[in-house]
């Protein structure tokens, strides 16, 4: 039995055509992060934020899971032990690629959240600032996204899984955003082997036992085949 926890970031969806954040031409080069990814930005200009996520939702809906997403689903189906994907991504490509055990720690584009009562419902493709909550009727709909300064989702479950992990793998994340960037240290403390799969070393690359550099559609299927062969 071996328990595997996988942290994914924008790099795993890059080859599906979804932009990353910190690339030279990425999302943060096109949009001011304080305007579109903070609660204060949402209070200042809710339409700007809702439109930003409407655009992202439309882009994600037309993207397809790639070989890396599919390989992680195969790992979940065939590993002798648990496989948990903790994704920082707000797209649903892991689920559409076949993974079932997925935590969206930074929220999900296909979900809307009521800021008044915390009810959640499926987001329409184009949310409107004036949308009302289907449960309490308050005009308080917001994208169900974890912005800077907000607490990521399901942290208790993630910390428990890291404490039980035999293998921790980080795929396509730059290691700039906490608490996700602290997971490698947490897993190592619990005795897990740690591996980074990325195009290049991340900000926390030196903390991993091993690193493999290359596009996720190549490195992830190769790693999955390798680990399943060691069953």
Catalytic center residues: 106
How many residues of this chain bind Zn ion (CB under 5 A)? Answer: 8
- For position 136 contacting Zn ion by CB under 5 A, the verdict is yes
Concatenated DSSP letters of 39-105: HHHHHH-HHHHHHHHHHHHHHHHT----HHHHHHHHHHHH-SS-EEEEE---S-HHHHTT--SEEET
- Pairing relationship of beta strands 210-213 and 107-114 according to DSSP bridges: unpaired
For Zn ion, the binding residue among 116, 177, 185, 199 (CB under 5 A) is 116
For Zn ion, the binding residue among 74, 119, 128, 190 (CB under 5 A) is 119
- For position 178 contacting ligand BJW by CB under 6 A, the verdict is yes
Residue 126 · residue 141 · CB < 8 Å: no
Q: Please, what is the minimum distance in Å from the beta carbon of residue 168 to ligand BJW?
A: 16
73 pairs with which residues across the strands?
A: none
**Which does residue 14 bind out of ligand BJW, Zn ion, none, counting CB within 5 to 8 angstroms by kind?**
ligand BJW
Q: Please, what is the minimum distance in Å from the beta carbon of residue 26 to ligand BJW?
A: 5
- For position 176 contacting ligand BJW by CB under 6 A, the verdict is yes
Residue 5 · residue 161 · CB < 8 Å: yes
Stretch that binds ligand BJW, among 12-20, 39-47, 70-78, 184-192 (CB under 6 A): 12-20
- Residue with smaller CB distance to ligand BJW, 53 or 79: 53
For Zn ion, the binding residue among 64, 117, 125, 159 (CB under 5 A) is 117
- For position 155 contacting Zn ion by CB under 5 A, the verdict is no
Torsion of CA 155, 20, 79, 99, to 10 degrees: 80
Contacts of 12 (CB under 8 A, 6+ apart): 66, 68, 69, 87, 89, 93, 171, 172, 216, 220
- Residue with smaller CB distance to ligand BJW, 122 or 134: 122
- Residue with smaller CB distance to ligand BJW, 178 or 229: 178
Q: Give the whole-angstrom CA distance, residue 57 versus residue 65.
A: 15
Which is nearest to 17 in space by CA: 64, 69, 56, 76? Answer: 64
Residues that bind ligand BJW (CB under 6 A): 9-11, 14-15, 20-22, 26, 37, 88, 90, 106, 145-152, 155, 172-174, 176-179, 198-200, 202, 215-216
């Amino acid at each position: 039995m071996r328990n595997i926890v996988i942290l994914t970031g924008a790099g795993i969806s890059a080859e599906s055509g979804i932009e990353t954040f910190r690339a030279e031409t990425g999302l943060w080069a096109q949009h001011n992060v304080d305007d579109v990814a903070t609660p204060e930005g949402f209070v200042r200009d809710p339409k700007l934020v809702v439109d930003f996520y409407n655009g992202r939702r439309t882009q994600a809906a037309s993207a397809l899971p790639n070989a890396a997403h599919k390989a992680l689903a195969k790992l979940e189906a065939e590993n002798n032990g648990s496989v948990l994907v903790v994704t920082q991504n707000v797209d649903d490509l892991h689920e559409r690629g076949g993974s079932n055990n997925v935590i969206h720690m930074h929220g999900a584009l296909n979900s809307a959240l009521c800021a008044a009562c915390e009810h959640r419902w499926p987001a329409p493709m184009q949310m409107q600032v004036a949308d009302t909550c289907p449960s309490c009727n308050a005009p308080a709909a917001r994208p169900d996204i974890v912005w800077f300064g907000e607490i990521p989702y399901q942290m208790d479950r993630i910390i428990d899984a890291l404490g039980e992990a035999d293998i921790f793998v980080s795929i396509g994340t730059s290691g700039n955003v906490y608490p996700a960037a602290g997971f490698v240290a947490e897993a190592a403390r619990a005795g897990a082997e740690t591996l980074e799969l990325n195009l290049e070393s991340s900000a926390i690359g030196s903390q991993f036992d091993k690193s493999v550099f290359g596009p996720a559609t190549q490195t992830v299927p190769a790693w999955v085949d390798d680990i399943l062969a060691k069953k």
